[in-house]
């Protein structure tokens, strides 16, 4: 049994990218981190690095998510923070999407997030406290051709977060989403071989660069901590100014002191 003074944090998607960085951030803050992912090798590596526990779980499986919740509740009696990050997208024009491609994207991104929020929302309601954090995207509000289905799932996540927050707040449970733009993770490695596209996307931010997973993880850590105790039903932008500007920034970059 973990000592009562140590908080218990769950990260689903801990094998790589934002999830891995989040597990690392939580461990650095002294939490006991439960690392879950369907990638056994990756999640075991993260757990070894953070001193946490490993669970191999399919984020799209109701039975496995419910089983994970039951296992954690039985072992620890309480879960302080639960974060979910897994997502997939098929970049393809909407009229060219197949049924199978739609199901693949919607089942993991939207249904998978629902399964997670439902399972751990129930647990936190019973324990009368906790913080749930889901991962959305700026594609919930800004799109380009080929991202309609992905964007729809990410918009749906924000609405689920708001809805659940309204339902569980009376039990002391907070529910929020983090909303990144472009993040340099292993999943986007092929774009690095196409500098024109890589740089064009970077130019949509005011910093003209991609974010690091650790920068998104820092925002998640903030939403998880007591300093964010009055924040719920929120979608926190971590987008480098992507949604603040219309297209790439202009060349007017100099500052002038009077």
Task: Please identify every residue annotated as catalytic.
Answer: 150
Q: 253 CB contacts (<8 Å, ≥6 apart)?
A: none
Q: Where are the beta strands (DSSP E) in the chain?
A: 8-12, 32-37, 53-56, 81-84, 130-135, 173-180, 235-238
Residue 15 phi/psi, 5-degree rounding, is -70, -25
Q: Please give the structure tokens belonging to residue 173.
A: 């449970």
Q: For residues 57 and 134, what is the distance between their CA atoms, to the nearest angstrom?
A: 17
DSSP string, 222-249: HHHSGGGTT--S-EEEESTTGGGSSSS-
Q: Edge-to-edge, what's the strand order for the sheet holding 130-135?
A: 53-56, 32-37, 8-12, 81-84, 130-135, 173-180, 235-238
Sign of CA dihedral 122, 123, 126, 132: negative
Q: For residues 158 and 172, what is the distance between their CA atoms, to the nearest angstrom?
A: 20
SS3 content of the chain, % helix, strand, coil (to 5): 50, 15, 35
Q: Please give the structure tokens belonging to residue 142.
A: 């800004």
């Amino acid at each position: 049994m973990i000592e009562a003074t140590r908080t218990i944090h769950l990260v689903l998607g801990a094998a790589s990218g934002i999830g891995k960085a989040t597990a690392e951030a939580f461990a650095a803050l002294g939490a006991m981190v439960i690392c879950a992912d369907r990638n056994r090798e990756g999640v075991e590596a993260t757990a070894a690095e953070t001193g946490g526990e490993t669970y191999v779980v399919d984020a799209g499986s109701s039975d496995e998510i419910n089983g994970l919740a039951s296992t954690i509740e039985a072992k620890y009696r309480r879960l302080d923070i639960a974060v979910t990050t897994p997502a997939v997208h098929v970049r393809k024009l909407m009229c060219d999407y197949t049924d199978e491609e739609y199901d693949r994207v919607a089942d993991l991104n939207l249904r998978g997030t629902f399964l997670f929020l439902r399972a751990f929302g129930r647990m936190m309601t019973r324990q009368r406290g906790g913080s749930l954090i889901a991962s959305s995207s700026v594609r919930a509000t800004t799109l380009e051709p080929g991202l309609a289905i992905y964007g729809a799932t990410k918009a749906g996540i924000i609405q689920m977060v708001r809805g659940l927050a309204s339902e569980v707040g009376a039990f002391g449970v907070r529910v929020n989403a983090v909303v990144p733009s472009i993040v340099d993770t292993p999943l986007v490695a092929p774009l690095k071989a196409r500098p024109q596209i890589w740089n064009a996307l970077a130019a949509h931010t005011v910093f003209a660069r991609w974010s690091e997973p650790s920068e998104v993880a820092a925002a998640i850590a903030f939403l998880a901590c007591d300093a964010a105790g009055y924040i719920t039903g929120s979608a926190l932008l971590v987008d480098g100014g992507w949604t603040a500007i219309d297209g790439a920034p202009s060349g007017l970059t100099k500052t002038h002191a009077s």
